Structure 1
Amino acid sequence: MLVAGIDVGATYTKVVLCDDGRVVGRSLLPTGFNFARAAERALSAALEGAGLRREDVGYVAATGYGRHMVPFRDLALTDLTAQAWAIHRLYPDARTILDIGGQNVKAIRVDERGRVRAFRLNDKCAAGSGAFLEKTMRYMGYTAADIARLAEAAQDPAVVSSVCAVFAESEVINHLVAGRSAEDVCAGAIVALAGRAGQLVKRLRGEPLYVLTGGLTRVPLMRRCLEQDLRVSFVVPPEEEGVYAAALGAAQLAQERLRRTAQRATA
């Protein structure tokens, strides 16, 4: 049966379609202010891209910041649970997951069965999340798609030391006014974000295998900074599966729920 996992994040909404354990479609769209509409639009985009119809979907699992705002959901689950499930299926030896999202950063420790045992979240300030980096890019006239390219071209990353988004933004503006390049400012923002994310892993007392998920898995500098700071190696899921990890986990858990329901019905 076709199932949909919908991750309604504060910045982006992701959908993964699965059929008998296979990923058959996915989509990623900006969330905006209306979570229900974002979920509907993202699901429609995933179905259209896969050549499927809405009536083909037999079960919907919602996760993420806006999971309870998805009116057509059959199941709502936390993104911690969804992330842990998906990563455990990809990497059974994984014990620490670091997810850097638009709204927050999560460090999750899981056991040998993929169950969440402990987690740490960043504070509510945007300077500790991907949203600050995207805002910095917009201020400089770029988009999130330019982050990796600019960061790799940096010669001398600018120092962004403030833990407050307002003050960090002032630092960015001051650097640009002083003539620093967009590449160095972009790289400096990534280094700062990596440092804050690394602190969560230290507080969690993370254990190997370490896996990095979230939109910033597309940025090689983020991974290098984390590995240098923590003196560990991170695995990044292939083919952007790290970006869709929560949606993928929600879809997999939807299939698991259906399987168990079918077993009880025939028992």
Structure 2
Amino acid sequence: MLTMGVDIGSTACKCIIMEDGQEIKARAVVPLGTGTQGSRTVFEAALTKAGKTREEIERILVTGYGRFTFEAADSQKSEITCHATGVHYLLPTARTVVDIGGQDVKALRLSEDGLLDNFVMNDKCAAGTGRFLDVMAGVLDVKTEELGELSSQARSEVSISNTCTVFAESEVISQLSNNVPLPDLVAGIHASVAKRVAALVFRNGLVKDVAMSGGVALNSGVVRALSRELKSEILVHEDCQLAGAIGAAILAYREAKRVS
């Protein structure tokens, strides 16, 4: 049985096709978020990669920031549930999951069987989110995906004291005018993100192993900085950005089994 999980985020859309809720048959990521053609594009890309038609997909479950806008789905679930399920599939030993999204940050605590025990989230402020990193990359005139490598070249870490995105932007501009090395600035930005995220994790209760999901987990600089703050190794799977879509595909399979 083939099922599909679609994760419509604020900055990217992800899609997974799975067989029997176990084997990934196709994956697709499109750097376009909700309110764009990203969901349709990623949906069609996954079908093409799998060599399948919509009629061959038993059930589609959608999650993410824009889940209510995707009419092709049979059902929808919150990204919290889907990320918990997806991370447990990718990294079964994970008990604490950090998901830094484009618009919010979530800290999840899982049971041994991958069920959600508790979660806390910050969705009131852009600081510490993927959006914050995008804004900082724009100020530094670099690509967001280059931030991780840049921070690895830092010789020191410049403190970014403002937690508000607008004020932090002004602070970074001021540091640039003082000829502070770019890598040192990026390291400071990552440290700022890590401090905010770590506070959320500790509030939820840290239980090892710790894992990251979502696109920001691909930023090695954030992972290093957060690892220092949490005093814990952080597990990052190569499919971390797809965790929500994977969880959605698995849950779609479970729903299909119940219906049948």
Q: What interval of TM-score do these two structures reach, taking the shorter chain for normalisation?
A: over 0.9
In the alignment, the residues of structure 2 paired with residue 171 and residue 42 of structure 1 have an alpha-carbon distance, to the nearest angstrom, of 37
SS at match of 2:240: coil
In the alignment, the residues of structure 2 paired with residue 51 and residue 148 of structure 1 have an alpha-carbon distance, to the nearest angstrom, of 35
SS at match of 1:208: coil
Q: Check whether the contact 2:218–2:240 (CA below 8 A) recurs between aligned residues.
A: no
In the alignment, the residues of structure 1 paired with residue 193 and residue 250 of structure 2 have an alpha-carbon distance, to the nearest angstrom, of 30
Matches within 5 A, 1:114-263: 114-237=114-237, 239=238, 241-262=239-260
Render the CA deviation track for 1:91-120: whole Å, top value 9, x for unaligned. Answer: 333221111111111000122232212111
The residue aligned with 2:32 is 31
Measured after TM superposition, the shift of residue 220 of structure 1 is 2.4
Q: Check whether the contact 2:58–2:256 (CA below 8 A) recurs between aligned residues.
A: no
Which amino acid in structure 2 is aligned with residue 246 of structure 1? Answer: G
The residue aligned with 1:90 is 90
The residue aligned with 1:10 is 10
Q: Which runs of 5+ in 2 are unaligned?
A: none
Matches within 5 A, 1:94-105: 94-105=94-105
**CA RMSD, 1 decimal:** 1.7
With 62-71 and 176-185 compared, the bigger mean Cα shift is at 176-185
In the alignment, the residues of structure 2 paired with residue 134 and residue 188 of structure 1 have an alpha-carbon distance, to the nearest angstrom, of 15
In the alignment, the residues of structure 2 paired with residue 79 and residue 180 of structure 1 have an alpha-carbon distance, to the nearest angstrom, of 39
With 197-206 and 157-166 compared, the bigger mean Cα shift is at 157-166
Q: 1:15 to 1:135 in 2, by over 3 A?
A: same
- TM-score with structure 2 length normalisation? 0.93
Q: Check whether the contact 2:139–2:169 (CA below 8 A) recurs between aligned residues.
A: no
SS at match of 1:145: helix
**Percentage identity across aligned positions?**
35
Higher relative contact order (CA 8 A, sep 6+): 2
Measured after TM superposition, the shift of residue 123 of structure 1 is 4.3
Q: Check whether the contact 2:34–2:65 (CA below 8 A) recurs between aligned residues.
A: no
In the alignment, the residues of structure 1 paired with residue 240 and residue 118 of structure 2 have an alpha-carbon distance, to the nearest angstrom, of 20
- TM-score with structure 1 length normalisation? 0.91
Render the CA deviation track for 1:228-264: whole Å, top value 9, x for unaligned. Answer: 2122222112x2x2111001000011111112222xx
Q: 1:48 to 1:149 in 2, by over 3 A?
A: same
